[in-house]
């Protein structure tokens, strides 16, 4: 069994994992909508910018992005301005995971918007709505139910991928248990981490299942 000090450490580690996940999914959904609309835009420059963003953040390893924000930016800053820049590793994690998740969610949201029949936009325009009004009130609300499954997927991946922050000196859940395992030579500590990750992903899975049923209620005949 864990000592009470160890429980506290595991609890703190779990909190770090959860904070990064929650922050990234919220920012990711907001920016993801913007980027998805960019991808669907009539303006070539907006389309190109969104495409480029997604291309970069999906095309390079998350761990590499984390290193770039944590190690490379302070060095570039030092070389160009001559002064030190200390970034809190937690802030680095927030930024990197948000930017990365945004790229994946943008594609999910874009596909969701494109799956809504074209007649919906036409009907909205026929009663005088602008593009923005139609998107906000008609199109995007209809995507919610369809987005739950793929966004749930992304959320579960995100939660597990936050374990990468152990490489930038953040004591998340995995790193905390790893430290205990290394110090004691007892691999059983990893089981605690596995159990907690499983517990959290189970909650997510059950939650998204219920949400999907609730949001799809209007489709029932």
Partner 1 sequence: MVKVEDVHKQFGDLQVLKGINFEVNPKEVVCIIGPSGSGKSTMLRCINRLERITSGKIYVEDELTENRMNGKTVEKIDPQKLANLCLDIGMVFQNFNLFPHLTVLENVTIGPTVVKKENAKITEEHAMELLEKVGMADRKDEYPARLSGGQQQRVAIARALAMNPKVMLFDEPTSALDPELVGEVLQTMKELAQEGMTMIIVTHEIGFAREVADRVIFMDDGVICEEGRPQDILLNPKEDRTKEFLNKIL
Which of 62, 68, 37, 64 is CA-nearest to residue 50? 37
User: CA–CA separation, 2 vs 192, rounded Å?
Assistant: 9
Helices (H), 40-87: 44-59, 62-67, 73-81
Q: Compute the least distance from the CB of residue 45 to partner 1, in Å.
A: 22
Contact status: 61 vs partner 1 (CB under 8 A) = no
User: Could you tell me if 15 and 197 are in contact, meaning their C-beta atoms sit under 8 angstroms apart?
Assistant: no
String marking each residue 106-135 x if it binds partner 1 according to CB under 8 A: -----------x-xx-xxxxxxxx---x--
Task: Figure out which of the listed residues 42, 43, 44, 220 binds partner 1, where binding follows CB under 8 A.
Answer: 220
In the complex with partner 1, which residue's Cβ is closer, 143 or 176? 143
Closer CB to partner 1, 82 or 128, in the complex: 128
Q: Does 42 bind partner 1 (CB under 8 A)?
A: no
- Chain centre to alpha carbon of residue 184: 34
Closest approach of Cβ 144 to partner 1, in Å?
8
State the minimum distance, in angstroms, from the CB of residue 117 to partner 1.
8
Tokens 């590793």, residue located: 89
* 141 lines the binding site for partner 1 (CB under 8 A): yes
* Numbers of helices and strands, H then E, in the chain: 10, 0
Instruction: Give kind and range of the element (H or E) at residue 184.
Output: helix 173-184
Between 134 and 156, name the residue whose CB sits nearer to partner 1. Answer: 134
Q: With CB under 8 A as the contact rule, which of the stretches 23-31, 72-80, 203-211, 213-221 interacts with partner 1?
A: 213-221
Contacts of residue 65, defined as CB under 8 A and 6 or more positions apart, other chains included, come to 57, 96, 99, 100
Binding footprint of partner 1 on the chain (CB under 8 A): 117, 119-120, 122-129, 133, 137-138, 141-142, 217-221
């Amino acid at each position: 069994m864990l000592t009470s000090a160890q429980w506290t450490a595991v609890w703190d580690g779990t909190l770090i994992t959860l904070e990064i996940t929650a922050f990234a999914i919220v920012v990711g959904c907001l920016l993801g909508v913007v980027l998805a609309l960019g991808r669907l835009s009539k303006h070539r420059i907006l389309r190109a910018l969104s495409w480029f963003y997604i291309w970069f953040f999906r095309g390079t390893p998350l761990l590499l992005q984390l290193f770039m924000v944590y190690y490379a930016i302070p060095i570039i800053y030092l070389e160009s301005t001559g002064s030190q820049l200390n970034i809190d590793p937690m802030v680095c994690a927030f930024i990197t995971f948000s930017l990365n998740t945004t790229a994946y969610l943008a594609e999910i949201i874009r596909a969701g918007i494109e799956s809504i029949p074209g007649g919906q936009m036409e009907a909205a325009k026929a009663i005088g709505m602008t593009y923005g009004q139609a998107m906000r009130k008609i199109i995007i609300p209809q995507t919610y139910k369809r987005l739950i499954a793929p966004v749930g997927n992304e959320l579960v991946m995100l939660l597990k991928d936050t374990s990468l922050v152990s490489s930038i000196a953040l004591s998340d859940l995995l790193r905390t248990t790893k430290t205990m395992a290394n110090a004691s030579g007892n691999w059983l500590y990893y089981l605690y981490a596995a159990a907690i990750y499983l517990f959290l992903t189970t909650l997510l899975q059950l939650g998204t299942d219920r949400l999907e049923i609730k949001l799809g209620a209007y489709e029932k005949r």
